[in-house]
Each structure stands twice: as structure tokens, then as C-alpha cells.
Structure 1
Amino acid sequence: MSSSIHLKQIDHRFTLAKQQVSLFEDLNIELHSGQSYAIVGPSGVGKSSLLLLMAGLEPPVSGEVQFQKSGKPQLLKSLRQISGFIFQQFHLLPELDALNNVALPLKLKGDKRALTTAELWLDKVGLAERMYHKPQQLSGGEQQRVAIARAFVMQPQFIFADEPTGNLDEKTAQHIAQLMFDCCQQSGAGLVLVTHSMELAQQADTLLQLGQGKLTVKARNQATSRVGALC
């Protein structure tokens, strides 16, 4: 079943020192499951805010964020229920081993096969032999692989990743990025990531560039277009 996220006429701003700072104005864009998108741009232009809007985690000041399945509108809260999240900070529970960190979302839903499914995903990310280790016993790259497995364990239709390789060395970051893209491709999930790395961003199907008052959209091997404005 194909899914899509539609941002329609989005305006978004925040207040800083009693001054209103506008991030997006009349922004329109569509995201589709099975496709990958990279949000890039200078610090402070609103990359993470855009990611939160796309994920339905933050409401825009005006405009509409719509989630659709097979072209039919769905409640926005249903998007959050079928989404996975990967962050720069791994957000693993220190008292749980890798297996139970990955299994936790399934356990919270009462899934009796939670541990079995978690084992399968840890094997997919190359951590079958480390599943009983706690986060403090794992390297940064291994912790991020646990976080990736946890994000995919619920069979999400979209993965949202905010600087997922920001705390990793270059070699480990390349491995983690490839793993993330591979998992999305195999599962059919859409991937939306924020990154400062142009090398990582260029692996995505579509580049979303924030800067100079514009959102510039460039599909791989296609011409550049501009969608909406930033002020």
C-alpha cells in the first residue's frame, strides 16, 4: 500500500526575543513511501522544524499537513503510528540490552513475538553477536545500528532521521548511512533525513535545499525546481 505526506501552503514561524522569525511561507511539497529525501542547508534555517512538520509531530502556524494511503486522506495521528525515528543522540535505555531496546516498541503494543522480531532486525544490522550488550558496552556506530533496528522493527512506512550520522566518525558514518538506505529500500519505507553532509544527502532520491529564502527541490538526475519560500 502506497503512502504519501502532503504539505500544503505551509507557513511556520517562531518568536525569539519578542521578534517573530519566519521559516516557511506558502511551502508545498509531497513525500512518497519508497522514496528517499535529504534536507540540507545552513544552521538555523529550519531543517529540523521542517522534519517535525513532515512527521506530524509539530503543527504549522498555518496550512495543512495531510497523510494519505492509496490516495485517501487519513488522520494525521495515524502517520505517527506508522513512522520510525532515528536521531543524532541514540536515545537507547541504558538499563536494557540491545535486544530489549529494539523489542521495546513491540512489547508496548503487546506483541508476543517482540523478542523474535527484534533478533531478526539486530541480525540484519550486523549485531547478532552483540544483542545482549547494554548501550555503554557498545561503540557509537553499534548504538546507532541498534537505533536503526528499533526504528524499523515496527515495519514503518516512513523513517525520519535527524542528523543520524552527526556523532560518528567518517568511516562509521558512511557504513551507517548505507545501512539506513538499504533498510529503507528493502522494506519499502520512505526516508526523510536532515544532514549537514552533502555526500550523504546526494545518496537520496530527492534533495531538499533550504537557504536564501527558498526551498529548492532537486530530484536525482532531474532539473531543479523551487517550491515555496523562506523568509
Structure 2
Amino acid sequence: MLAHQRQEVILDAVRTHGGVRVADLVERLGVSEMTVRRDIGELSRRGLVARVHGGAASVARSSEEPGFAAKAGLRPDAKRAIARAAADLVPDGASVALSAGTTTAEVARELRDVSDLTVVTNSPRVADLLHDPADHSRTVVLSGGTRTPSDALVGPVARAGLRGLHVDLLFLGVHGLDAAAGLSTPNLSEADTNRALMDCAARVVVVADASKWGVVGLTSFADLGSVDVLVTDAALDPSARPVISDLVGELVVAGTPQEEDQ
């Protein structure tokens, strides 16, 4: 297969799924990892894809909101490592809120082992993951609202449902993290709902893989100083760590680069 044919396959995968992993392309195209990375590099140089750790993704635009399915296939190992580290922060009997997102969905999976848990969420996927008719010790409260492409329930109904609630911890997924822009999202209504979630929580825990650093969405909804704990993965640029540590309450780095490449 010629280079331009391989690159068309890569572009098609990115357009369809929002991103693609190098390992999957190696298997699909029957070429070496070096060849795939070289093709991704060429597409990135032409502005057609964004190079991310372990693959390629759609070029990020501030107002573009990828769907849940597109994001779910990106950096799954990192998200699972982050979720395990985040779940370690939750004691039995806690009350927690979870925003919508692929990383918070992984956190929800890990929280199924926590007993006497009360969960508030604006994510139908999170609610489904934690709902267990046989477990009467777990309470799941799902807000109402209008559904976004990322499967978040947002808007005035969602904010009204969250008003007056108080939880021990919020696990918050974000579209982007930046020293100047703070926490951001491409969806204006989701920004307002995220602020309402933050107002509910005694502690705010942001769960975001390393690819989110330096990404700025259409609207900022909080600065990094409002984050009590940021849980990310070991692929985070070493130069970003002291910057983040100066701004957030605590930085937790989960996993290792070697694990992420497997």
C-alpha cells in the first residue's frame, strides 16, 4: 500500500471515530509502527490530524464537541489508570458527584466496589454503570436536563436539580486544561452545569489524561486554583508538572509511560 493510501485510511478512521491508535493502525495496515508514526506526522504537518500520545485525533477546535464514542477510544489505558487512582480517594460511606465524560465513566466502574455510596451525576452512562437493583446500600441520583453530544445532561433543569445538594467529592472531566484558560469546554450550557456541580462539592477532583493539557475550549468555567486534586497520567509533559503543581491543590500522576504504550 502506498503512503497516500495509508494516510487516507488514517484520515477515514479519525473522521469516523474521532481518533485512532498506532497499535490498531499497525495491525490494520500491516506495516511497522515507525511507518504509521511517519504517516501521522505527515498528516499532522498538513494540519489534517492532531498527534496525540499513542495515536492521532481530530484537530481540536475551540467550539468542536466530540461525541462520547469518539472520545472513548482515545487513551483507554490512561483513563483506567486515572480512574483507579481517583477511586482510591473515596472512602466507604462517601457522597460523590460525577460529571459526564469518558474518564468519569471509568471512575464510575472503579467506584462499584465502594460500599454505602451516594452518587449524584448528570451522566446517564455513569448512572447506568452504578445502578444495581440488588445493592440497596448505593444511591444514585441522576439530574435532568438536555443531552449534549458528550452525553451530559445540561441546562437550567440540570442546574435546578443540583441546587442545594452537598457532596464530599466531585469527579470532574474536562475538555481542556490550560494555565491561563483554566478548565474549559466547547459547550456553553455544559460550562454552567459544571459550575453547579463544583458548587455542590467540598473537594473538586479533576480527572484528565495528559492530552488535555494545553487544550482550550470555547468557554472557561473555572481556573486551576479551584481544583483541589488533579489526577492525570504519566505521559504529562514533565515541563507542565511544576506549572500545574503551583496552581492546583494536589497533583496525582497515575501509571507509567511504558504502561500507556502497551
Q: Determine which structure has the larger helix proportion and give its number.
A: 2
TM-score normalised to the size of structure 1? 0.34
Structure (1/2) with the larger strand percentage: 1
